[in-house]
Copies of this chain bind each other. A is one copy, B any other.
Amino acid sequence: MSTIPTATISRLVTYLRILGQLESVGVKKTSSDHLAEEAQVSAFQVRKDLAYFGRFGTRGAGYSVPTLRRELSRILGLTRPWNVAIVGMGHLGHALAGYSSFEQYDFSFSLKAFFDKDPAKVGRKVLDTEIRHPRELPRVVSEKGIDIGFVTVPRAAAQGVADQLVAAGIKGILNFAPTLLNVPNEIHVEPVDFLVGLKRLSFYIQNPQLKEEFA
């Protein structure tokens, strides 16, 4: 497996979403042209993206919606469970804990533990699970088999939390804090940073001649 563009992975998520919508309305077959239109990319792009991982269509006929959907789920690692801990139970942490799509669509991810260093929050329950102090991270991560940590603390606390998550043995971090995290090479971090998006928007509104593309 040579080198796969990082943008390809984002597009696979988009294709998977489209396939889910198609399946929910009973559509059984699709094509690279159709997926391309829905995903706002070229049909070449769709076929090339898929070709990194194998052959999923039948020439002359297109793709089976359920089959391609299952394959993309597998490729993205969504056929196995991922256990998640949220660190930082402010507005955002609570909003994520209450986000019902984890049960509806994305049940590959399950929220197993919640952490906050505020003594007023420790012990309170979220989704029938007690909020714990971050000092318990190592024990809880290993006992509950936590794979992924959501960092939803303020900017100034984010690096410390990341260090604790890494020390506890986490495999990846979804970082909602508006800062870059320093982690060892083998740990994956995905930023989710609306302020970057907002400032990009500011730039592109001010410079309309520069077209932004799929991000």
Contacts and interface: CB of A to CB of B under 8 A. Distances in A.
Contact of A210 (B4, B99, B198): B4
B197 A192 contact: yes
Contact of A199 (B13, B147, B195): B13
A197 B190 contact: yes
Interface residues of A, number: 69
B98 A91 contact: yes
Contact of A213 (B6, B101, B106, B206): B6
A74 to B, nearest CB: 10
B178 A197 contact: no
Nearest to A106: B195
A174 interface: yes
A190 B201 contact: yes
Interface in A162-193: 171-174, 176, 178-180, 182, 185-186, 188, 190-193
Contacts of A94: 91
Given A13-B196, A91-B94, 19 more contacts: A1-B210, A6-B212, A6-B215, A13-B195, A13-B200, A17-B178, A76-B199, A77-B203, A78-B199, A91-B91, A91-B98, A91-B99, A96-B194, A148-B198, A174-B197, A188-B208, A188-B212, A190-B204, A192-B197
Interface of A: 1, 3-4, 6, 9-10, 12-14, 16-17, 38-40, 75-78, 82, 91-92, 94-96, 98-99, 101, 106, 108-109, 147-148, 171-174, 176, 178-180, 182, 185-186, 188, 190-213, 215
